[in-house]
């Protein structure tokens, strides 16, 4: 059975002082550090199990995504793994218990929940990345990888199908034939090939991974409008399924909101005054889909009759 959600993450800090890095723990399986630079670092935290995906980690991760989506301090999110791996897919300790049995999906949220996040999501892939771990990395907007990190889709070598939308995600990133190669063979490829294929966009030395990825996220947090980021992320996800006319119509609706926003005023003022921008936090109730009229795919609860492996 699925573990019960831990509820809203709890933070620690001192009232009345300049914000410090704060840590949130969701069942110990996922950590969240919110820095004063506006970057939230989310860490899959089961290094003793190589960060294998399990129900508690899933619940913790999605709880934290909902938390950072609403936290006004957070401008960008960085996802990584504890220890020497990112996430190699299902926790190997659960494999025997999954074979031949339907998975209880009652109460589970959509595995593509991160697409509804209104803030940029950057992956820092520090090691092995496979199966569900690869799906979560592909759902990020930008992917950094440590040199030497290994990747595999894995499904075909485990008697599984292309799970959790990977057959939709991967071809859009790397093309149909390259996606077919990776999915049909289930072969292992390293970070250098992942860069050549388009699975990741940056490869850096392992010792430099987090600093490099965080600097990228911090630059976005410091210099980009939260309103702009929320709309652009939404547009990137919905417009690839639409024709040009529909895309233009949606963009006009978003432009009407942006043109009267405090973000646009600050963006222009800071540019003309040649100073760093000071954008307001993302409005709590801003829903880009309500403005454009383009809803994302179903991101709620997974139907109980759907079987699969997390």
CATH number of the domain within which 252 lies: 1.10.12.10
Query: By the 8 A CB rule, do 125 and 85 touch?
Result: no
In degrees rounded to 5, what are phi and psi of residue 151?
-130, 150
Looking at residue 7, its pLDDT comes to: 36
From 5-19, 51-65, 243-257, the region with the lowest mean pLDDT: 5-19
Q: Which of 181, 202, 221 is the last residue of a domain?
A: 221
CB atoms within 10 A of CB 141: 20
Of 221, 248, 274, the one marking the end of a domain is 221
181 occurs within a structural domain: yes
In 3D, which of 206, 91, 86 has the Cα closest to residue 146?
206
Q: Say yes or no: 210 and 239 in one domain.
A: no
In the block, which residue shows the tokens 């801003």? 286
Tokens representing residue 119 in the block: 């803030």
Instruction: Assess whether 244 and 143 both reside in one domain.
Output: no
30-34 vs 39-44, strand pairing mode: antiparallel
Question: Which range of residues forms the domain containing residue 278?
Answer: 225-292
**Cα dihedral 160, 165, 166, 168 sign:** positive
Query: For residue 38, what is the domain's CATH number?
Result: 3.90.226.10
> Residues 212-225: pLDDT tens digits?
999 999 999 999 99
For residue range 121-180, list pLDDT tens digits in order: 999 999 999 999 999 999 999 999 999 999 999 999 989 989 889 999 999 999 999 999
């Amino acid at each position: 059975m699925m573990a019960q959600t831990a509820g809203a993450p709890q933070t620690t800090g001192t009232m009345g002082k300049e914000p410090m890095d704060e840590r949130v723990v969701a069942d110990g399986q996922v950590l969240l550090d919110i820095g004063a630079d506006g970057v939230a670092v989310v860490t899959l935290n089961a290094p003793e199990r190589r960060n294998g995906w399990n129900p508690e980690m899933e619940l913790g991760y999605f709880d934290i995504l909902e938390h950072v989506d609403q936290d006004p301090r957070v401008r960008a999110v960085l996802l990584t793994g504890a220890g020497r791996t990112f996430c190699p897919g299902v926790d190997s300790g659960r494999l025997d218990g999954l074979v031949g049995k339907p998975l209880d999906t009652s109460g589970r949220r959509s595995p593509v929940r991160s697409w509804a996040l209104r803030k940029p999501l950057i992956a820092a892939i520090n090691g092995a990345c496979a199966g569900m771990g690869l799906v979560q990395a592909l759902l990020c907007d930008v992917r950094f990888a440590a040199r030497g990190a290994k990747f595999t889709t894995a499904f075909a070598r485990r008697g599984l199908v292309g799970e959790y939308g990977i057959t939709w995600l991967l071809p859009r990133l790397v093309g149909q034939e390259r996606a077919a190669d990776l999915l049909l063979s289930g072969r292992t490829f390293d970070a250098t090939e992942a860069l050549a294929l388009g699975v990741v966009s940056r490869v850096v030395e392992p010792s430099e991974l987090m600093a490099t990825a965080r600097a990228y996220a911090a630059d976005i947090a410091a210099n980009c409008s939260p309103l702009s980021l929320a709309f652009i992320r939404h547009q990137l996800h919905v417009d690839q399924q639409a024709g040009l006319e529909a895309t233009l119509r949606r963009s006009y609706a978003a432009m009407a909101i942006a043109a009267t926003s405090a973000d646009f005023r600050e963006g222009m003022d800071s540019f003309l005054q040649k100073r760093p921008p000071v954008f307001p936090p993302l409005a709590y109730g801003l829903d880009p889909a309500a403005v454009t009229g383009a809803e994302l795919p179903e991101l709620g609860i997974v139907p109980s009759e759907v079987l699969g492996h997390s």
